C-alpha cells in the first residue's frame, strides 16, 4: 500500500507520518496537517455495499493512516464503533420527503462529533505507543457545545491521557452544559470561560503555540494535543460515513454505480463538509457539496464573493454548534485551491489574524465550483422543523434543519434533482427546547426534562440513553475563568 505522509498548510518542507501528525494535532508553524496526496478508494462500490460500517471505516482509514498496522487500526475501529452506538448500522439513513438524512447522532453523546471522537482517543494512544511517547497526553479543547462532551466521553479514563474542555459561558444549550459539567472521570476538567467560542478557540491555539509552556510541560511529563476538528485524526474518520452512505444507497437500489449524489452539510468549523470533499477527491461520485450556514453566514458570503470576512457581529442562534466566525478547517481547502502553495496560504491566514479577512484570487475561486453556499435564518430554521414534522412526523434538530432548509433553497435555485444526502448532525433531544418551540410555542413553559418526555411522545422516539443518564446526574465541574486566564487554569489542573 502507498504510504501517505502529512505536511503543514503553512510550510513547504518536512513531512510526517500519520501517527506523528495525529499526535501533534496542530503543526509548529500554526498550520494544519494535510495529506500530501488524497488516496483513491481501492474497493469497488459493489464491494463496499456488502460491508458493515466498521469495514467501510477500515477501507477508508487504512489508506490515510498508512503507518498503522491492520491490527492496530482494526482495534481502534472496534473499540470506537461498538455498543456505545444505539444502532448496529452506526450511521443509518432516513428517507424523508425524497431526501436521505444521514443520522450521525447515534453515539454516546447523540451528536455527530461522536463519529470521530469515539475513535480519536484510540488513534492517539496507538500513535503514542508507535512513537515511543512516554509523556501523558493532555487534550485541550475549545467547544461550542458538542465537541466538548463528545471529547470528554471519548477520553474519560483512557489511560495516559487527560482532557481539559473550555466552553463559552451561556453559549451552549442547557442540556449540552449539563452533559459536560456532570462528566465523570478523574482525568477530565471542564471550564466555562467569560467569552464566546472564538475566544475560547483562540485561547487554546495560543496555549498550543506557546513554546515555553510546552517545554515546562515536557519537563513535568505532559504534552498537549488537540481533539478539535483540526486534528487529522478527526477528519479522516468522518470521510468514512460519506462512503458508507453512498454504498448503502447503492445497496438499496437508490443509486446506480457511479451515479452522482449531492451532500448537504450544516457547517461551523468546516470539518464535516471538508470530509465530504475528501471523499469526493478519493473518487466517491459526489457532485455538489452544499454548505449550509445559520445567521453567522461567513461561509455563504465567502462562496458568493471570494472574500472571507469575520469582522461582523457574532450572533447567538438556536444552532449553537454552527455559531462560528473562524472556520478553522477551511484552511485546508484554501491550501488546496491555492495549488498547495503554503506561502500563499500563510499570507491569507496572516491577513485573517491581523485584519480579520482575506480575499482569494479569481483562479482560486474557480476551484470552488463544487461548492454551493447558502444559509437559513432563525425563522426559516424553525419553519423547517415544524413543516417537516407536520407533513411527515420526522423530528429533526436545529442544525439539521438549517441544512434541510438550505437544501430546499438549493433545489429551488438550480432545479438539480441529484439524489441528496443531508448530514443530520444532532439528535433533536440535544436541542429539545428549540425544537419543541419550533413545533409549538406552547411548549416554552415546560421544564427541560418534561420537554424531553413530550418530544419522545410526539416524535414517537425513545429517549436516548445520553439524556436518561444526565436526568439526575450531579454537577462535578464548577470552574470559571476569563478568556485571558486559560493558561493559568490549565497549569492549576495539571500541577494540582
Ligand X SMILES: *Cc1c(COP(=O)(O)O)cnc(C)c1O
The pairing of strands 307-309 and 357-359 is: antiparallel
CB of 252 to ligand X, least distance (A): 25
Give catalytic status of residue 482 as yes or no.
no
Q: Does 192 bind ligand X (CB under 6 A)?
A: no
* Of residues 53, 98, 111, the one with CA closest to residue 261: 98
Q: Does 268 bind ligand X (CB under 6 A)?
A: yes
Query: 42-47: long-range contacts (C-beta < 8 A, 24 or more apart)?
Result: 44/257, 45/246, 45/247, 45/250, 45/257, 45/258, 46/250, 46/257
- Cβ neighbours around 354 below 10 Å, total: 9
CB of 85 to ligand X, least distance (A): 16
Torsion of CA 97, 102, 106, 111, to 10 degrees: -100
Strand ordering across the sheet containing 479-482? 222-226, 136-142, 161-168, 188-194, 479-482
Contact region with ligand X (CB under 6 A), list: 109-117, 152-160, 340-348, 485-493: 109-117
Asked if 184 contacts 156 with a C-beta cutoff of 8 angstroms, the reply is: yes
Asked if 226 contacts 141 with a C-beta cutoff of 8 angstroms, the reply is: yes
Give the one residue of 229, 231, 346, 420 binding ligand X; rule: CB under 6 A.
229
Q: What is the largest CA-CA distance in the chain?
A: 61
Contact region with ligand X (CB under 6 A), list: 133-141, 216-224, 250-258, 267-275: 267-275
Q: Does 102 bind ligand X (CB under 6 A)?
A: no
Choice between 62 and 399, CB closer to ligand X: 399
Q: Does 171 bind ligand X (CB under 6 A)?
A: no
* Of residues 303, 311, 310, 233, the one with CA closest to residue 265: 303
Contact region with ligand X (CB under 6 A), list: 106-114, 123-131, 132-140, 248-256: 106-114
Q: Does 62 bind ligand X (CB under 6 A)?
A: no
The interface mask with ligand X, positions 328-367, x = CB under 6 A, is ----------------------------------------
Contact region with ligand X (CB under 6 A), list: 152-160, 260-268, 349-357, 359-367: 260-268
Q: Does 113 bind ligand X (CB under 6 A)?
A: yes
Choice between 8 and 143, CB closer to ligand X: 143
Report the distance separating Cα 280 and Cα 284, nearest Å.
5
Which residues between 394 and 433 bind ligand X (CB under 6 A)? 399, 425-426
* Of residues 354, 351, 350, the one with CA closest to residue 31: 350
Q: Does 119 bind ligand X (CB under 6 A)?
A: no
Q: Does 226 bind ligand X (CB under 6 A)?
A: no
CB of 424 to ligand X, least distance (A): 9
Choice between 345 and 427, CB closer to ligand X: 427
CB of 320 to ligand X, least distance (A): 9
Catalytically annotated residue among 17, 113, 280, 297: 113
# binding residues, ligand X (CB under 6 A): 17
| Cα–Cα separations (whole angstroms), residue 303 to 32, 287, 300, 334, 415 | 21, 17, 5, 12, 19
Buried b (16+ CB within 10 A) or exposed e, 7-40: bbbbbeeeebbbbbbbbbbbbeebbbbbbeebbe
Q: Does 270 bind ligand X (CB under 6 A)?
A: yes
Residues linked to residue 266 through DSSP beta bridges, in sequence order: 292
Q: Does 66 bind ligand X (CB under 6 A)?
A: no
Choice between 51 and 227, CB closer to ligand X: 227
Residue matched to cell numbers 515555553? 212
Q: Does 322 bind ligand X (CB under 6 A)?
A: yes
Local structure of residue 111 (DSSP, 8 states): B
Cα angle, residue 147 at apex, residues 145 and 151 outer, rounded to 5°: 130
CB of 394 to ligand X, least distance (A): 17
Which residues between 18 and 57 bind ligand X (CB under 6 A)? none
* Residue ranges in contact with ligand X by CB under 6 A: 111-113, 146, 229, 266-272, 321-322, 399, 425-426
Residues carrying an active site annotation: 113
Amino acid at each position: 500500500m502507498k504510504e501517505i505522509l502529512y505536511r503543514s498548510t503553512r510550510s513547504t518542507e518536512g513531512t510526517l507520518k500519520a501517527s506523528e501528525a495525529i499526535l501533534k494535532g496542530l503543526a509548529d508553524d500554526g498550520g494544519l496537517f494535510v495529506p500530501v496526496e488524497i488516496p483513491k478508494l481501492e474497493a469497488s462500490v459493489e464491494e463496499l455495499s456488502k460491508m458493515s460500517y466498521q469495514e467501510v471505516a477500515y477501507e477508508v482509514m487504512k489508506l490515510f493512516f498508512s503507518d498503522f498496522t491492520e491490527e492496530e487500526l482494526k482495534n481502534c475501529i472496534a473499540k470506537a464503533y461498538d455498543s456505545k452506538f444505539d444502532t448496529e448500522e452506526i450511521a443509518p439513513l432516513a428517507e424523508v420527503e425524497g431526501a436521505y438524512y444521514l443520522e450521525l447522532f447515534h453515539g454516546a453523546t447523540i451528536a455527530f462529533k461522536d463519529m470521530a471522537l469515539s475513535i480519536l482517543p484510540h488513534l492517539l494512544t496507538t500513535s503514542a505507543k508507535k512513537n515511543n511517547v512516554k509523556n501523558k497526553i493532555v487534550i485541550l479543547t475549545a467547544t461550542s457545545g458538542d465537541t466538548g462532551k463528545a471529547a470528554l466521553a471519548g477520553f474519560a479514563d483512557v489511560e495516559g491521557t487527560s482532557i481539559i474542555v473550555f466552553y463559552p459561558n451561556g453559549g451552549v444549550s442547557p442540556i449540552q452544559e449539563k452533559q459536560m459539567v456532570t462528566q465523570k472521570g478523574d482525568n477530565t476538567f471542564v471550564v466555562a470561560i467569560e467569552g464566546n467560542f472564538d475566544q475560547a478557540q483562540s485561547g487554546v491555539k495560543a496555549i498550543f503555540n506557546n513554546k515555553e509552556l510546552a517545554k515546562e510541560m515536557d519537563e513535568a511529563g505532559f504534552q498537549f494535543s488537540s481533539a478539535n476538528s483540526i486534528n487529522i485524526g478527526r477528519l479522516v474518520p468522518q470521510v468514512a460515513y460519506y462512503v458508507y452512505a453512498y454504498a448503502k444507497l447503492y445497496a438499496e437500489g437508490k443509486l446506480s454505480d457511479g451515479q452522482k449524489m449531492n451532500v448537504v452539510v450544516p457547517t461551523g468549523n468546516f470539518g464535516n463538509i471538508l470530509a465530504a470533499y475528501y471523499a469526493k477527491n478519493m473518487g466517491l461520485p459526489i457532485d455538489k457539496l452544499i454548505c449550509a450556514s445559520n445567521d453567522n453566514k461567513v461561509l455563504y458570503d465567502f462562496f458568493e464573493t471570494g472574500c472571507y470576512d469575520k469582522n461582523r457581529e457574532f450572533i447567538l442562534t438556536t444552532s449553537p454548534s454552527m455559531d462560528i466566525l473562524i472556520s478553522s478547517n477551511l484552511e485546508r481547502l484554501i491550501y488546496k485551491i491555492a495549488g498547495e502553495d503554503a506561502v500563499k496560504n500563510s499570507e491569507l491566514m496572516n491577513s485573517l489574524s491581523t485584519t480579520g479577512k482575506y480575499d482569494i484570487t479569481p483562479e482560486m475561486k474557480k476551484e470552488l465550483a463544487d461548492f454551493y453556499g447558502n444559509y437559513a435564518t432563525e425563522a426559516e430554521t424553525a419553519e423547517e422543523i415544524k413543516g417537516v414534522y407536520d407533513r411527515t412526523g420526522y423530528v429533526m434538530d436545529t442544525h439539521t434543519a438549517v441544512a434541510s432548509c438550505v437544501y430546499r433553497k438549493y433545489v429551488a435555485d438550480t432545479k438539480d434533482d441529484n439524489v441528496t444526502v443531508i448530514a443530520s448532525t444532532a439528535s433533536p433531544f440535544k436541542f429539545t427546547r428549540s425544537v419543541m418551540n419550533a413545533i409549538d410555542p406552547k411548549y416554552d413553559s415546560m421544564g427541560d426534562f418534561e420537554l424531553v418526555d413530550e418530544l419522545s411522545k410526539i416524535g414517537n422516539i425513545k429517549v436516548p440513553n445520553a439524556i436518561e443518564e444526565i436526568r439526575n446526574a450531579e454537577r462535578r465541574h464548577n470552574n470559571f475563568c476569563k478568556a485571558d486566564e486559560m493558561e493559568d487554569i490549565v497549569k492549576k489542573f495539571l500541577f494540582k
